[in-house]
Structure 1
């Protein structure tokens, strides 16, 4: 099953949802805000991608994050930080079988589904 994680009003998430729909890919959308996140979901992603790729360092949440947290974030504590600040996660996160992709890229989606 394809699961697309994100926030419904995020532009990249909207583009990914449109692409999946237009390409007849059945998927479940999991909204961080309304559906929440668990340690096991993030841990599953971290088994398939680097934690640094999950961090959205361009967003308002990152800019407003305490400097001490920014300086000390690492593989050991990243799950706790992301659970506390889910909007730090770069969106969307697409999970399909053993594949996890971060951010929307139509070429990557094309390679996965077509």
Structure 2
């Protein structure tokens, strides 16, 4: 089973959903805001991906952090921030075939779901 994690109003999520649907890939969508975010899942995803890849530094939520928070980022502080502010998690995250993938690229999805 393929699971996509994210928030529904994200343009990248919309593109990824369209790709999956047009290629007949069945998936479940996990909305961080509606369905919540479990600490265990976040730790598992971070272990597979790394906190640097999970953290979306281009979003408004990250930019709103204090300079001190940005300057003192490490694994622990990043995980705490990601749990408190799920909008800072890069989107989408796909979990399929026991692996995590971050972001959307039609070429990468073609490879993943070949």
Question: TM-score range, shorter-chain basis?
Answer: over 0.9
Q: Is this contact kept in 1: 2:55–2:78, CA < 8 A? A: no
Distance 2:36 2:68 in 1: 25
* Offset at residue 43 of structure 1 (A): 1.1
Distance 1:71 1:13 in 2: 29
Q: Write the deviation string for residues 59-82 of structure 1: whole angstroms up to 9, x where unpaired.
A: 111111122211112112322110
Distance 1:49 1:99 in 2: 9
Distance 1:31 1:76 in 2: 23
Cα RMSD, aligned residues only: 1.0
Q: Which consecutive aligned stretches of 4+ in structure 1 deviate over 6 angstroms post-superposition?
A: none
Alignment partner, residue 65 of structure 1: 65
TM-score where L is the length of structure 2: 0.94
Matches within 5 A, 1:35-114: 35-114=35-114
* Offset at residue 34 of structure 1 (A): 0.7
* Offset at residue 97 of structure 1 (A): 2.6
- The answer for unaligned runs of 5 or more in structure 1 is none
- The answer for unaligned runs of 5 or more in structure 2 is none
SS at match of 1:5: strand
Alignment partner, residue 16 of structure 1: 16
* Offset at residue 54 of structure 1 (A): 0.8
Distance 1:2 1:61 in 2: 27
Q: Is this contact kept in 2: 1:48–1:98, CA < 8 A? A: no
